[in-house]
Structures are given as C-alpha cells and as structure tokens.
C-alpha cells in the first residue's frame, strides 16, 4: 500500500448489531433444534461424537438460554449439525429451511452426507 496504517471503518450501527448476540444466537439455536425435533441430549451427543466437542445436555441448555457464550468452532459445528449456514443461525433467518438437511444417521465416518433427489 502507501505505508500508512489503516483501520476498518465501522458503521454507526455496528455496536447494536453485536450487542446481545449471545442471547439471540441461543434463541435461534433453540428454535432450529425444536423445528428439527431434536432433544438437547441428541445435539450434545452429536457434537461430542462427530465434532469431538465435549458437550452435555446442560451446555446446550445454557447456550440456548444465553447463560453460556458459544465459541466460534462450536457455533460452526452447531450450524452444520442444524443444516444451515452460520450467519443464518446467528441471524435467525431461514430457521425452517430444509434444503441442506440430511438425517443425522446418514453419511460416512468422514461426515460427508449424500443428498438424494
């Protein structure tokens, strides 16, 4: 560049966009889990078995209630588990989208799922 230091410009609404994101993420995650008819226990087991993230049912409950923040790798794994992009899960949009869903019991050991249709 030209040797000067730069910073990323932030819009005036940026602080409001991230304020309370933990509570909103948990709310959207609960909506999606319930829509998929999954128990908190099933989600925790999948996170532990598939992603090696040692969750228990209580962790899922705390995330959904906003009591526990979710780490980036956990959020990405949860979005994958719920069959939706992370930004949609975090933003609460397309909660009822079925286009990327595959039953959890399908797929190989490497996590690749095949879509039919």
Q: Find tokens 């992009």 and name the residue.
A: 85
Collapsed DSSP state (helix, strand, coil) of residue 100? coil
What tokens were used for 61? 């409950």
Read off the pLDDT of residues 78-100 as tens digits, 9 standing for 90 and up. 999 998 889 888 887 766 666 66
Spell out the domains of the chain, with CATH numbers in brackets. 21-91 (1.10.260.40)
Q: Find tokens 């230091």 and name the residue.
A: 5
pLDDT band with cut points at 50, 70 and 90 for residue 114: very low
pLDDT band with cut points at 50, 70 and 90 for residue 7: low
Read off the pLDDT of residues 13-53 as tens digits, 9 standing for 90 and up. 455 555 556 678 999 999 999 999 999 999 999 999 999 99
The residue that leads in pLDDT, 41 or 109, is: 41
């Amino acid at each position: 560049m030209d040797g000067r230091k730069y910073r990323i410009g932030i819009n005036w609404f940026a602080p409001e966009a991230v304020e309370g994101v933990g509570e909103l993420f948990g709310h959207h995650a609960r909506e999606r889990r319930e829509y998929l008819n999954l128990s908190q226990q099933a989600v925790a087991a999948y996170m532990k078995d598939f992603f090696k993230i040692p969750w228990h049912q209580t962790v899922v409950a705390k995330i959904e209630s906003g009591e526990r923040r979710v780490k980036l790798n956990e959020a990405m794994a949860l979005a994958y588990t719920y069959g939706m992009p992370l930004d949609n899960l975090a933003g609460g949009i397309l909660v009822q989208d079925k286009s990327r869903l595959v039953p959890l019991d399908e797929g190989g050991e490497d996590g690749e799922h095949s879509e039919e249709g």
